[in-house]
Amino acid sequence: MEKFLDFIVRAGSLDRRYIFVVIALVVMLPLFFPLNLPIRPTVSSQTIYDTVEKLESGDKALVSFEYGPSTKPEIHPMAIALLRHLFEKDVKVYITCLWPDGQFMAMEAIQQVAVNQYQKVYGEDYVLLGFRPGNEAVIKGLVSNFRKVYTVDAQGNFLDDIPMMNGINKVADFDYLFSASAGYPGTVEWVQYAADPTGVTMGTGTTSIQVNEVMPYVQAGQIKGILGGMPGAAEYEKLIGQPGIGTSGMDAQSVAHIVIVGFIIFGNISFFVERRRSKKY
Amino acid sequence: MKDKQFWSVAGIIFVLFMIYWVAGHPYFVSERSVMFWSILIVGGVLIYSTRMAKRGEKIFLRTIPGLKAVEEAVGRSTEMGKPVLYVPGIMDMDQVETVAGVVVLGHVAKMTARYETSLNVPVSRAIVMKAARESCRESYLLEGRPDLFHNDMVHYLTDDQFAYAAGVNGIMLREEPAACLYMGKFYAESLLLAETGNSIGAIQIAGTASPSQIPFFVTACDYTLIGEEFFAASAYLSQEPELIGGVKGQDTLKIMAVAVMLLATLFNFFHDLNMISWDVLGFLTVQ
Amino acid sequence: MNGSEIFGAWVAVFLTLGIFSYLYKDNPFYKIAEHVFVGVSAGYWMSMFFWTQIQPNLFGRLWPVPEGAISGFFMRTWYGIYNFFGVLLPSVFPDGGIDKGHGTHPHFIYIIPFILGVMMLLSVVSKWSWFARLGIAYTVGMAAGLRAYAFLNSNVLVQLKGSAVSFVGLDWFSLTDASIINNVIILIGTITGLLYFYFSKEHKGTFGKVTRVGIYFLMISFGASFGFAVMGRISLLIGRFTDLITYGSSTYNYASLWVLLLMIGLLAVWTFKGDKKVAS
Amino acid sequence: MFMKRQLPIAIAAIIGFLTLFGWFVDEPNIKSFVDDDATQWFDILASFAIFLGALNLLKLQALKIIKKQKGWPYAALAIVGFTFSFTAGFILLGSYNVEISQYDDPAKVATVLASEINLDEKSAENILIAMPEGDTYTIDTPYFTKSGADDVVEKINAAGGTANMRATEWGSHISTRGSLFNWMFRFIFTPLSATMFALLAFFVASASYRAFKIRNFEATLLLISGIIIMLGRVPIGGNISSWFIMYIIVLSLSAGVNTWFKNRKYTLASVIGGILIVTIAGMITGWPVDQPAIFYLPVLQDWIYNVPNVAGARAIMIGIGLGIFATSIRYILGIEKSYIGE
């Protein structure tokens, strides 16, 4: 017994590089040997799905890309799933970017979903307006006059020449607003400067870390539903019935969480054993 | 009516606005009048309490446990003959948290001067370095120990987030400070710092307002100044009437917020029961 | 798969593993990757902001393509300046003016932000460091005006409204839907949490008990925050591993495997040799 | 002195005041300035601020090299990195397209095309034949140099086709697949910035192991709510039976009884009693995985993050909202002036 306790105490001050190796393994292995755990949608993901489901063919949705490569694994799958749902419903999609890298992410998503999967027509079914710097000031500008901020789209075409831009002059002209956001500027700013002042229905997909900051907005009804991180994306993929990157990452995610919880519990056991000993001596 | 000037200006603004309103309030977005009045009232409360503080009104601020702990931590470092490490966050002086961090640094520098303990302040922005140096120099002068102060106690590492974290971790492992204080704006590096500090067994005290970083500090540090506590601490330490008045003003506003919440719930309850027709939720919705 | 893609994959793998090598210890691979990152990202941000804002929305307004021939001394001088720039940087200032849909007349009022911006850049010279203050003051002032309204509305007023919960026509308790008990918990939690941040009174007696409840709610919220933080970081790692696995395929000549072996080998050699320069 | 101190404060005050009250004004001239032009100016200045940041970085690294400070070769590497991305952004386009618009004999042109896009001649010919009348076909991957693209154009023209070279426009090159800038984004910027953050996954794990200790009641709450979110949010949480959770609760309650009463009999009684109650209840209901729902992790985590978590987060949000309002007002009134750096 004494020896076992000794081991536990010593394991408590283990070189952290052993922990790194364990984490690398538990994340890597399920990617090679999937477990196919069933996914269960949470209430907030279901809300997003229901809201989009209510949109009708020809409705206009503004989707804003506010993430970059650093958070791509979390947000990109949900952006793709949402675009799939919107195109499935024949909703017109307008894409803006408040992060410079967002434009690249949007291009990738468009190539995959709009061009390859649904063969949508640029300028009639979707448009990529591109990135504008200025954070919340850009949103404020879009709310009052869309055409001041964007005179050309990302490819340099004039907005007046794009058929689907007809009748779009401010954010209030849209039926749905979605922010795929990884931080500032992002969801919070869209709520403050666009959704609250105009009353346009808004949904959001955020990194896991942001979920907590955004939850009060969701509870107060300022945002209708939220997709949280990669699990949120997996849930949405499940809802639209098209499994993607999010779903394939869930096994690794599950196993890693279990292992980390195990670490926490073991760390605490070792902590208690040590504390009891130091009391004795 | 302690502050006649304030009340007369407020009265004049009110009367002028009323005249404008009665005259048909041209060019005014009437749907936002609730927000307009909120801004005037909230702004008024803040200005009023700042003015009162400047005029010398006694303002009580509760003790903040984390602050007492700072003194203990410096004391312990002195006993052990080890340095104190102070990290003022990774952002520039335009962030309120950085400003608060530098204010608290001044206070810590006073203690290290008094106890003759060595202080080490790595920073990640050039302007923060200037400000932090000034603040330390002043504290050492005030304590009558300018001889102990040297410029290198505040030194610049790098602007880059992770390189900075790696640098600070290096200092921790080499110098093994007995107390690590993290006060300022932190992002993902909070975890790296707090964990390394924990592993060398230092007393750790943190103060920050970023909600997503607080959990890491709360679990890994001995004391954490959470969000507004941190701002209040800097006001408390600086004893500047402007800052203290601000804290007092925000306190008043919090009580008002609680009152509004309770009243709104009550009115909403009666509205739901069809006992009154006034819709409080509609009233509070400003577009 | 063409050459530039395969070469790109090798570069990407080297940089990715270079940064991961920090997990072992601080080493030259990590330092190389880190410094390349600092330099490249500065140039990257600069290009992005220039081509999406300064060129189209500032220069595009100052020197739009004029309608017909340019006449008058003033306008000729104005476009003369433009042509001079055009000689220096033809990619930025194409012949004849910049056509980004800002009409055909120069918006001269945009000289103000242009001058403020240029002053900002000149502040690199230590003697003129105060030059930047004017531009910074503008952004600070504007952000203050925007935020004062937006935060008071969305973060205070609407949140107060959100806490004014309903009790009529709801179930007593439900885990997944709004219910009376849930609403009471939210109301109590918000109020006690807010009172924890009340500084003008000592936390003793009844008030102390109230704020105690407040801190419990804050802790539950921080715990959730911690859970989400773990979740997010793991997702990012999954993303990196997926990329490495892709780059480790035969299409990319097994880039991930080769680079990994090379790095482990070199790190091992350095460690066993105990090279002082590396170990420091 | 006026330019250095009063003017900046005056600018901040005036602009702040205009923007704040611009929310309430419906006068077209003021509205158009405040909502449109003023925000555009802000955006432009924000862009210049990025330039300033880059210049400061260069200055710093250059000084490091000149003074031969420790690690100066790495500083040189940073400058090389900057030069590369600047070149990709402003000087070297690296994206020239070849468009084929007409041909006399598809087979001949297809020979040229096939060697350019790594296809057999038959498929290349099919691509050309499938091209609608009056339309053009653009070769998928752009050419890195202008002369490279010109060569191909010449070859196609020699084979009896009509082709021309089209350079990607400056400005849209940043978002065009195939440009040097885009290559840099995909293979240098993306892996670097993504891996920097992925590193944190490892540190989060080691921090959980070493730092997250149950020191007091608050820390316990934090830990439990964190663990429930972590397990309940991911698919595996749905496979953990609520009965398993109940057994764990029984055991931890017994541990509590043990420390509280310090009497082995009580502890034993609570362990056996608890296990018996849970087991009998389970046998009666038939051990459903997700019942009772309050012990089922996916449902429990939904409740935690929709109810108590929202209350805590909202308290912080209101506090921060008031704090930011107060700071903003101080900027507008010119009380807070730390932004001028004095």
Give CA–CA dist A259/A245, Å, rounded: 22
Q: How many beta carbons lie within 10 A of that of residue B28, not counting itself?
A: 17
CA neighbor of D134 nearest in space, from D111, D114, D162: D162
Q: Would you state the structure tokens that stand for residue C25, as one six-digit string? A: 């210890």
Q: What is the 3-state secondary structure (H, E, C) of chain A?
A: CHHHHHHHHHHHCCCHHHHHHHHHHHHHHHHHCCCCCCCCCCHHHHHHHHHHHHCCCCCEEEEEEECCHHHHHHHHHHHHHHHHHHHHCCCEEEEEECCHHHHHHHHHHHHHHHHHHCCCCECCCEEEEEECCCCHHHHHHHHHCHHHHCCECCCCCEHHHCHHHCCCCCHHHCCEEEEEECCCCCHHHHHHHHHHHHCCCEEEEECHHHHHHHHHHHHCCCCCCEEEHHHHHHHHHHHHCCCCHHHHHHHHHHHHHHHHHHHHHHHHHHHHHHHHHHHHC
When CB atoms are compared, the residue of C149, C199, C225 closest to B247 is C199
Domain boundary among B238, B253, B273: B238
Same-domain check for residues C180 and C146: no
Cα C245 from chain centre: 28
Same-domain check for residues B130 and B187: yes
Whether residue D35 lies within 8 A of chain A, CB to CB, comes out as: yes
Contact check, Cβ <8 Å, D44/C117: yes
Q: Would you state the structure tokens that stand for residue D110, as one six-digit string? A: 């297809």
Give CA–CA dist C115/B257, Å, rounded: 44
Contacts of B286 in chain A (CB under 8 A): 196-197
Q: How much of chain C exceeds pLDDT 70, in percent?
A: 97
| Mean pLDDT of the D153-179 span | 79
Structure confidence at residue A90 as a pLDDT band (50, 70, 90): very high
Same-domain check for residues B14 and B104: no
The boundaries of the domain holding residue C129 are 109-164
Same-domain check for residues B10 and B39: yes
Contact check, Cβ <8 Å, B287/A197: yes
Give CA–CA dist D230/D297, Å, rounded: 10
- If you search the block for the tokens 């097994």, which residue do you land on? C254
Q: Would you state the structure tokens that stand for residue C96, as one six-digit string? A: 């004849």
What would the pLDDT profile of D3-21 be if each residue is shown by its tens digit? 778 888 899 999 999 999 8
Structure confidence at residue C280 as a pLDDT band (50, 70, 90): very low
SS3 of C271, please?
A: helix
Read off φ and ψ for residue B97, nearest 5 degrees. -65, -35
Give CA–CA dist D179/B151, Å, rounded: 48
**Mean per-residue pLDDT of chain C:** 87
Among B261, B266, B273, which would you mutate to test the C interface (most chain C Cβ atoms within 10 Å of its Cβ)? B261
Contacts of B127 in chain D (CB under 8 A): 341
What would the pLDDT profile of C182-225 be if each residue is shown by its tens digit? 999 999 999 999 999 998 888 888 999 999 999 999 999 999 99
| Mean pLDDT of the D169-180 span | 79
| Mean pLDDT of the D273-288 span | 85
Contact assessment for residue A210 and residue A232, using Cβ atoms and an 8 Å cutoff: no
Contacts of B284 in chain C (CB under 8 A): 157-158, 160-161, 164
**Mean per-residue pLDDT of chain A:** 89
Among D35, D197, D209, which would you mutate to test the A interface (most chain A Cβ atoms within 10 Å of its Cβ)? D209
Structure confidence at residue D342 as a pLDDT band (50, 70, 90): low
When CB atoms are compared, the residue of A16, A197, A209 closest to B212 is A209
Contact check, Cβ <8 Å, C148/D170: no
Give CA–CA dist A137/A145, Å, rounded: 12
When CB atoms are compared, the residue of D13, D37, D39 closest to C141 is D13
Burial class (CB in 10 A: 0-12, 13-18, 19+), C129: middle
pLDDT of residue D196 exceeding 50, the answer is yes
Whether residue A212 lies within 8 A of chain C, CB to CB, comes out as: yes
Same-domain check for residues C134 and C176: no
Contact check, Cβ <8 Å, A20/D205: yes
Give C39's contacts (C-beta < 8 A, 6+ positions apart): D57, D61, D77, D78, D79, D80, D81, D82, D83, D84, D85
Among D31, D225, D322, which would you mutate to test the B interface (most chain B Cβ atoms within 10 Å of its Cβ)? D322
Contacts of B162 in chain D (CB under 8 A): 196, 199
Q: What is the pLDDT of residue B8?
A: 92
Give CA–CA dist B50/B6, Å, rounded: 11
Chain A residues 179-208 within an 8 A CB cutoff of chain B: 196-199
When CB atoms are compared, the residue of A28, A100, A188 closest to C48 is A100
Contacts of B287 in chain A (CB under 8 A): 196-199
b/e per residue B183-200 (b: at least 16 CB within 10 A): bbbbbbbbbbbbbbbbbe
Whether residue B212 lies within 8 A of chain A, CB to CB, comes out as: yes
Same-domain check for residues B146 and B170: yes
CA neighbor of B187 nearest in space, from B218, B220, B219, B210: B210
Q: What is the pLDDT of residue C227?
A: 92
**Strand-pair partners of A64:** A96, A179
Q: Closest-CA residue in chain B for C157?
A: B284
Give me the number of domains chain C comprises: 2
Give CA–CA dist B156/B125, Å, rounded: 7
CATH code for the domain of B162:
3.40.50
What would the pLDDT profile of A162-190 be if each residue is shown by its tens digit? 999 988 999 999 999 999 998 888 898 99
Q: What is the pLDDT of residue A221?
A: 87
Contact assessment for residue B226 and residue B65, using Cβ atoms and an 8 Å cutoff: no
Q: What is the pLDDT of residue B275?
A: 84
Say if C183 falls within a structural domain.
Answer: yes
When CB atoms are compared, the residue of C232, C238, C242 closest to A208 is C232
Give B25's contacts (C-beta < 8 A, 6+ positions apart): none
Q: Would you state the structure tokens that stand for residue C280, as one six-digit string? A: 């420091």
| Mean pLDDT of the B234-260 span | 89
Whether residue A43 lies within 8 A of chain D, CB to CB, comes out as: yes
Q: What is the pLDDT of residue B61?
A: 85
Same-domain check for residues B268 and B230: no
Say if C226 falls within a structural domain.
Answer: yes
How close are the terminal C-alpha atoms of chain C, in Å?
Answer: 42
| Mean pLDDT of the A241-266 span | 92
Q: How many residues does chain C have?
A: 280
CA neighbor of A24 nearest in space, from C29, C23, C28, C13: C23
Give C57's contacts (C-beta < 8 A, 6+ positions apart): A132, C100, C102, D40, D43, D44
Same-domain check for residues B80 and B47: no
Same-domain check for residues B43 and B163: no
Contact check, Cβ <8 Å, A198/B211: no
Look up the ipTM and state it: 0.88
Give C192's contacts (C-beta < 8 A, 6+ positions apart): C210, C211, C213, C214, C217, D315
**Mean per-residue pLDDT of chain B:** 88
Instruction: Give the residue with greater pLDDT, D54 vs D133.
Output: D54
Q: How many residues does chain D have?
A: 342
The boundaries of the domain holding residue B152 are 65-238
SS3 of B148, please?
A: helix
Say if C275 falls within a structural domain.
Answer: no
Give D280's contacts (C-beta < 8 A, 6+ positions apart): none
Same-domain check for residues C180 and C221: yes
pLDDT of residue B159 exceeding 80, the answer is no
Q: Closest-CA residue in chain A for B219?
A: A264
Give me the number of domains chain B comprises: 2
pLDDT of residue D193 exceeding 80, the answer is yes
Give C155's contacts (C-beta < 8 A, 6+ positions apart): A192, D317, D318, D320, D321, D324
Q: Would you state the structure tokens that stand for residue D188, as one six-digit string? A: 């240098």
**Strand-pair partners of A264:** none
Contacts of A199 in chain B (CB under 8 A): 287
pLDDT of residue A145 exceeding 60, the answer is yes
When CB atoms are compared, the residue of B29, B188, B253 closest to D24 is B29
How distant is the Cα of D81 from the closest Cα of chain C, in angstroms? 5
CA A193, A199, A205: angle at the middle one, nearest 5?
Answer: 65
Q: How many beta carbons lie within 10 A of that of residue C261, not counting itself?
A: 11
Q: State the helix-helix crossing angle for A43-54 and A72-88, rounded to 10 degrees.
A: 30
Same-domain check for residues B156 and B22: no
SS3 of B207, please?
A: strand
Whether residue B265 lies within 8 A of chain A, CB to CB, comes out as: no
Among D72, D222, D236, D303, which would you mutate to test the C interface (most chain C Cβ atoms within 10 Å of its Cβ)? D222
Give C108's contacts (C-beta < 8 A, 6+ positions apart): C62
SS3 of B223, please?
A: strand
Chain A residues 71-90 within an 8 A CB cutoff of chain C: 71-74
Contact check, Cβ <8 Å, B211/A213: yes
Contacts of D20 in chain B (CB under 8 A): 39
Amino acid letter, residue C68: G
What would the pLDDT profile of C29-71 be if each residue is shown by its tens digit? 988 998 898 889 889 988 988 988 888 889 988 998 888 777 8
Whether residue B257 lies within 8 A of chain A, CB to CB, comes out as: no
- Strand B119-123 to B84-87 pairing: parallel
When CB atoms are compared, the residue of B199, B211, B287 closest to A212 is B211
Same-domain check for residues B106 and B208: yes
What would the pLDDT profile of A26-41 be if each residue is shown by its tens digit? 999 999 998 888 898 8
Say if C41 falls within a structural domain.
Answer: no
Same-domain check for residues B265 and B208: no
| Mean pLDDT of the A114-121 span | 90
Q: What is the pLDDT of residue D188?
A: 92
Structure confidence at residue C279 as a pLDDT band (50, 70, 90): very low
Contacts of A16 in chain B (CB under 8 A): 199
Q: Which domains does chain A have, with CATH numbers?
A: 43-249 (3.40.50.10160)
Cα D81 from chain centre: 22
When CB atoms are compared, the residue of D20, D24, D339 closest to B94 is D339
Give CA–CA dist D86/C276, Å, rounded: 36
Contact check, Cβ <8 Å, B287/A199: yes
Give CA–CA dist D117/D123, Å, rounded: 10
- If you search the block for the tokens 């663990």, which residue do you land on? D227
Contacts of D341 in chain B (CB under 8 A): 93, 127, 130-131
CA neighbor of A143 nearest in space, from A222, A197, A224, A187: A197
Give CA–CA dist A63/A66, Å, rounded: 10
Domain boundary among C132, C148, C164: C164
| Mean pLDDT of the B135-141 span | 90
Give CA–CA dist A106/A207, Å, rounded: 17
Contacts of D25 in chain B (CB under 8 A): 27-29
- If you search the block for the tokens 């009558």, which residue do you land on? B144
pLDDT of residue A262 exceeding 60, the answer is yes
Contact check, Cβ <8 Å, D12/C133: no
SS3 of C87, please?
A: helix
Q: What is the pLDDT of residue C278?
A: 42
Write the DSSP symbol of residue B26. T
Contact check, Cβ <8 Å, A100/C225: no
pLDDT of residue B175 exceeding 70, the answer is yes
Contact assessment for residue B183 and residue B158, using Cβ atoms and an 8 Å cutoff: no
Least confident range from B184-198, C18-32, C69-83, D171-185: namely D171-185
When CB atoms are compared, the residue of C150, C229, C232 closest to A192 is C150
Say if C247 falls within a structural domain.
Answer: no
Q: What is the pLDDT of residue C1?
A: 55
Give C58's contacts (C-beta < 8 A, 6+ positions apart): C110, C113, C114, C117, D44
Q: Would you state the structure tokens that stand for residue A21, as one six-digit string? A: 């190796």
Structure confidence at residue D340 as a pLDDT band (50, 70, 90): low
Same-domain check for residues B49 and B181: no
Structure confidence at residue D134 as a pLDDT band (50, 70, 90): low
b/e per residue D102-114 (b: at least 16 CB within 10 A): ebeebebbbbbbb
Structure confidence at residue A281 as a pLDDT band (50, 70, 90): low
Among A35, A157, A219, A230, which would you mutate to test the D interface (most chain D Cβ atoms within 10 Å of its Cβ)? A219
- If you search the block for the tokens 């790594």, which residue do you land on? D118
Contact check, Cβ <8 Å, D322/B42: yes
Among D190, D318, D320, D337, which would you mutate to test the C interface (most chain C Cβ atoms within 10 Å of its Cβ)? D318
What's the number of CA atoms in the CB half-sphere (13 Å) around residue C148? 30
| Mean pLDDT of the B59-81 span | 89
Q: What is the pLDDT of residue A78?
A: 94
